Structure 1
Amino acid sequence: MPEHVYDIETLQLLIVEDDIRIAEINRRFVEKVPGFAVAGIATTKTDAQEQIECLKPDLILLDIYFPDMSGLELLKWIRGAVPGIDVIMVTAAKEIHVLKQAMHGGIFDYIIKPVMFDRFKETLLKYKDYRDNVRKLSNANEWMDQDQIDMLMGKEFKKKPETFLPKGIDHLTLKKVLYAIQQHKTGLTAEEVGKEIGASRTTARRYLEYLVSAFEIDADLSYGSVGRPERIYRYIKS
């Protein structure tokens, strides 16, 4: 069974490397990783700029040492001309000041030559996961929480155990309920919250009452002209 399952999207990658033998090795490496295709190989500054503007690849593998340019100069040009393209440096440069300049240029990773395939593959798979996660979050939300941001940034933090939550209260659902209340200053009923999060009125009310007990939200009775009064839940501003 494969380690990763990808969707039908294939990411286009441009190799910018003046040594054609190394470029060919990198091309073969790329073709071994699911979800990627080599859109082209550029060996000079002019060639690289023309292919970048024409092909607009998703990702560039960029060396630093060229006879006619510095890869750092091309990285700066990329950020100004086509800022949406991501870059992975693949180079023999080991100087700390070079690494710092590349990091300031917003590279995704920095791989030292000679390139080991396992390290190379790991980086491409991480990049593929990153792109997939960005697309999923973009389709689902206009906002992100800290956990989602940390995931995209490739950071992992030891989280406090959530065993303090009572039985029947799920952490993710609780966050959805709280967010729904925060977005409606005039308040919501349990039925309205249920519709917002795609849950039943009973489920929504269980979470709402828990938030009331935790002093995260407040509840009040609304007396309509007909029928029983309803509880209206509002966010308590800190």
Structure 2
Amino acid sequence: MTRVLVVDDDFMVARIHRGFVDRVAGFEVVGTAQTGAEAESLVAELRPDLVLLDLYLPDRFGLDVVARLRAAGETCDVLVITAAKEADSVRAAVRHGVVGYLLKPFTFADLELRLQAYAAERARSLSGDDLTQAEIDAAFTPPGVARPATVTLPKGLSAETAEAVERALRDSAATMSATECAEAVGISRVSARRYLEHFVTAGRVEVSLRYGATGRPERRYRSN
């Protein structure tokens, strides 16, 4: 079983999240916390495998909690669950090595998909044997996503935002429009469109057209 700690300052929201997690096979909630300090204490006490972490906590910002956990030597994984859609928050979360970033409000299916992907990634964890370069590369690649050759980003595009855009596509259960991607990452629609079209050209993303009753067809994107 994957042991989960739920951290949210709203006890009713925490209860809902706990109920969601308990419905996913292979996961169990071992505790809940409403503050950053309580989360740090429970991580040390309960040793969860995964922390579902809200960023807006009453005593400290959620990513500061992650930094304090790492400084204390805690190795639990962190899945951010938050209403914070600012690009700076997403970029900071990527730098802190979180395994996912899920925007509130969300459905059970949204969380279930991310937990199942996390479980699959854990199942691919490294063994103690010597590995080839291909096996090492595979360990750093999300399930079902091919690792392409390194591509230089065009001028004006940042590596951090590019990673956030790719993560949003990987985490989406369906195709995304530029507008939906922009909302998920916290950037403008024009910026999202630039990143998405770059990934299409690089072969990392597929694009399809959705035709409506009137007007131009909508471009929809999904990870290869």
TM-score range, shorter chain: 0.5 to 0.7
**TM superposition score normalised by structure 2:** 0.61
Which structure carries more relative contact order (alpha carbon 8 Å, separation 6+)?
Answer: 2
1:11 paired with 2:2, answer yes
Normalised by the length of structure 1, the TM-score is: 0.58
Measure the CA separation in 2 of the matches of 1:50 and 1:119: 28
Instruction: Tell me which amino acid in the other structure corresponds to 1:46.
Output: A
Residue in structure 1 matched with residue 97 of structure 2 by the alignment:
106
CA RMSD of aligned residues (A): 1.8
Distance 1:88-1:39 versus aligned 2 partners, 3 A rule: same
CA offset at residue 116 of structure 1? 1.7
Shift of 1:68: 1.2
The percent identity for this pair of structures is 33
The letter of the residue matching 1:25 is I
Please give the residue correspondences for 1:210-229 in structure 2 after superposition, counting only pairs within 5 Å.
none
Cα distance, 1:158 vs structure 2: 7.1
Residues 32, 144 of structure 1: alpha-carbon distance in 2 compared, 3 angstrom cutoff: farther
Q: What amino acid maps onto 2:97 in structure 1?
A: G
Equivalent in the alignment of 1:233: none
For the 8 Å contact 2:141–2:147, the answer to whether it is kept is no
Deviation, 1:145, is 3.2
Cα distance in 1 between the residues matched to 2:147 and 2:37: 43
Distance in 1 of aligned mates of 2:67 and 2:139: 27
Deviations, residues 71-113 of structure 1 (Å, cap 9, x unaligned)? 0110111121134210000000000001111110000000000
Which of 113, 137, 156 aligns to 2:146? It is 156
Question: Is 1:145 equivalent to 2:133 in the alignment?
Answer: yes
* Matched-pair contact (CA < 8 Å) for 2:24–2:112: yes
In the alignment, what sits opposite 2:193?
none
**Contact 1:13 1:57 survives alignment (8 Å):** yes
In structure 1, the gaps of 5 or more residues are 1-9, 160-238
**Contact 1:16-1:41 at 8 Å conserved across structures:** yes
Within 1, Cα distance between the matches of 2:34 and 2:20? 18
- Per the alignment, residue 88 of structure 2 pairs with 97
Q: Residue 128 of structure 1 corresponds to which residue in structure 2?
A: 119
Asked if the contact 1:79/1:105 (under 8 Å) is kept, the reply is: no
How many residue pairs end up in the alignment?
147
- The one-letter code of the counterpart of 1:100 is R
Partner of 2:28: 37
Of 70, 94, 104, which aligns to 1:79?
70
Q: After TM superposition, give the deviation of residue 152 of structure 1 in Å.
A: 4.3
Structure 1 residue 69: Cα displacement? 1.1
1:70 aligns to 2:61 (yes or no) = yes
Could you tell me which runs of 5 or more consecutive residues in structure 2 were left unpaired when the two chains were aligned: 150-224
Q: What is the rounded CA distance, in whole Å, between the counterparts of 1:91 and 1:50 in structure 2?
A: 21
